[in-house]
A and B are shown apart, each in its own frame.
Chain A
Amino acid sequence: MIGDQPSTLLDKIWNSHLVHADPGAPDLLYVDLHLLHEVTSAQAFEGLRVAGRTVRRPDLCMATVDHNIPTTDRSLPVLDSLARRQMEVLRENAQGHGIRLFDVDDERQGIVHVIGPELGLTRPGMVIVCGDSHTSTHGAFGALSFGIGTSEVEHVLATQCIPQRRPKAMEIRLEGDRPPGISAKDLILAVIGEIGVSGAVGHVVEYTGPVVGSLSMEERMTICNMSIEAGARAGMISPDPTTFEYLRDREFGPNSEEFVNLKMEWESLKTDDGATFDRSIMMDVSDLEPQVTWGTNPGMVTEISGSVPDPCRIKDEKARDSAERALEYMGLQPGTPMESINVDRVFVGSCTNGRLEDLREVARVLDGRRVHTDVHAMVVPGSTAVRRQAESEGLDRIFREAGFEWREAGCSMCIGMNPDTLSAGERCASTTNRNFEGRQGRGGRTHLVSPATAAATAVAGRLADPRSC
């Protein structure tokens, strides 16, 4: 409640971070945690320098290298001189401004949205920003967390605040029983398929309902991560005992004494009964099947047992044009069963699906099986800590024996800024978040899938249903 008004989780976090409000102007919000990486920060620091400004709260910033670092042997020099320069500039900036950097040789290095939660930096009720659209991931903890551009990165560095218009609040309620073998990735792909890639523009989405409450933290992160693919400003899930348990004993998390008080605070971070959303949609997931994309945006998705759609049957003219273009780019014919589509590559990793549970799932499906001879498959853990833990559980051995490459942590082939890319015409089943044209390499054809579907596909050499493995 805010006063005696029932309020949404969004309103509660917003109001508790409101530094200043002027009629007509955006609200000024305080930022609790500012995450930085090498690709979107250099120009921001340079802007500060030119204007003679400083970083207001270096203690509330955290930096790492993830976007363009190689995932091969870390003891070798980075051959791409531009990428190397970007990393050096981040190093200089972090050092010059007293910002903590988890560098390439640090055991805590990893994809920024994997290590924030892992280290206990991400907490319920925070406002978190980062120059990366998948910052929505941290909303899984009941934080308001969103991506910003480089000018805004500079703004937050200088002021620790961000001017924002209050977005609308949208509820996506997942009802029913999640069928066995259906992952969080399948849930969120189905949601995006339902509302479309601009379905949540201008809104912060709160995911609610019994299905959401039963998800692990890592599954919740997968869901919130892809909110941006529906156009949402952010995604969030109210914190509950699952959240609190996750937050215990993290390196930068609260100590046990602080924990008791914070937990009481966190328990109030929920949308009150009687509070209204600007928009609510409900989806029953009881009959959901594993999902796979067929086109060039994450909303172009179908069931693994389905077929490539026929654009002629799409009524909306713009959607039909887009589908036709997508099929041409993807090299697919309408009516082709999804399970008959052969792949050349399989990629497991990213801030969407590069966490320990994802890797365990891949290993579970793989166990004892071999990657198809025509497929080049790799696993890139989301963080160095995920890599170590996977190794201690013997998952790396399962991957290697199956024929997967086992790499160092980073964004890798999700964005393809480092040498991990697709060649023109190569088809890839990928656990990442974007199947845009050229996203994984010019001319590359991406099918977004869950970790289990990726593993089943690697074995079959074609898109495959992990439930029939």
Chain B
Amino acid sequence: MHTGVVAPLDRADIDTDQIIPKQFLKSVDRDGYGDFLFHDWRKEEGGSTNPEFVLNKEPYRGASILLAGRNFGCGSSREHAAWALRDFGFRAILAPSFADIFRENADQNGLAALSLEEDVVRELLARAYSEAPLSLTVDLEERTIADSDALLASFEIDDFRQMCLLEGLDRIGLTLRQAEAISSFEQQRWPNRSEVPPKSF
């Protein structure tokens, strides 16, 4: 269960180039990307802060839930997008839909990318803009969104994703439990190890 301030970003098709531009992909680390989140929207050309952008305004600087338009995270496969959102302090992204690779990257980093009905997102956006700060509670176990007064919406998430997000499972560890199945697949495929394709590899 997570309760936090909601930052509204009412745009559709927010691509990963907006979430984190390419000049910040040159690091060899998994963290330290928070300052670069939505860089070209948050910073003016000369590097000064754009006071109009939502995350530069109070009370959104400390927001932990992002509310956005459909197809969030489209574009490149850069996991840096999920790392930047997480490093900024976001714990959940609520949107009508997500790009496939982005959602997987979010899952891998314990960032809950949750799809809500388009109408629900529209209502929440209206509230987030008019009665800031809107604070919401995301309950992953119960699959619900609530404010301090009432239950507002429920969302669908498959059991496996829910379990991974709740328990922060080591996904590689899970696959390695199938080491025997992997080996037997390989043996069936290449009965003679010397035949392993592709040639010369």
Contacts and interface: CB of A to CB of B under 8 A. Distances in A.
B148 interface: no
Contacts, number: 181
Interface stretch (B1-9, B100-108, B128-136): B100-108
Contacts of B87: none
Nearest to B177: A20
Nearest to A18: B185
Given A43-B28, A197-B71, A415-B22, A24 B201 contact: no
Interface string A39-53: 110110011000101
A42 B27 CA distance: 9
Nearest to B198: A252
Contact of B172 (A51, A83, A132): A51
- Give the residue among B11, B22, B78, B105 with the most A Cβ atoms within 10 A: B22
A86 B28 contact: yes
Interface in A429-469: 434, 436-439, 442-443
B166 interface: no
A137 to B, nearest CB: 13
B40 A438 contact: yes
A297 interface: yes
Contacts of A319: 12
Contacts of B76: 132-133, 147, 434
A146 to B, nearest CB: 8
Interface string B5-48: 00000111101011001110111111000000000100001000
Given A26-B160, A158-B172, A43 B29 contact: yes
A317 to B, nearest CB: 9
A332 interface: no
Contacts of B196: 59
B18 A155 contact: no
Given A231-B71, A437-B17, A133 B77 contact: yes
Given A19-B185, A149-B82, A197 B100 contact: no
Interface stretch (A159-167, A177-185, A389-397, A399-407): A159-167
A71 to B, nearest CB: 15
B178 interface: yes
Contact of A160 (B11, B23, B171, B182): B182
A149 B101 contact: yes
Contact of B17 (A83, A253, A439): A439
A403 to B, nearest CB: 28
Interface residues of A, number: 77
Interface string A140-160: 000000011111101100111
B108 A197 contact: no
A437 B75 CA distance: 12
Q: Which label, helix, strand, loop or mixed, suits the secondary structure of the B interface?
A: loop
Contacts of B201: 59-60, 62, 100, 252
Contact of A197 (B13, B109, B159): B13
A163 B21 contact: no
A135 B105 CA distance: 16
A25 B160 contact: yes
Contacts of A89: 28
Given A132-B76, A322-B11, A201 B175 contact: no
Interface string B170-181: 011011101001
Interface in B68-111: 69-71, 74-79, 82, 97, 99-101, 104-105, 108-109
Contacts of B149: none
Contacts of B159: 24
A149 B181 contact: no
Given A19-B182, A231-B71, A297 B11 contact: no
10 contacts: A24-B159, A40-B78, A42-B28, A60-B198, A133-B75, A149-B108, A155-B172, A161-B178, A318-B69, A417-B23
Given A20-B181, A86-B28, A159-B172, 6 more contacts: A39-B78, A133-B77, A198-B97, A233-B100, A321-B10, A417-B25
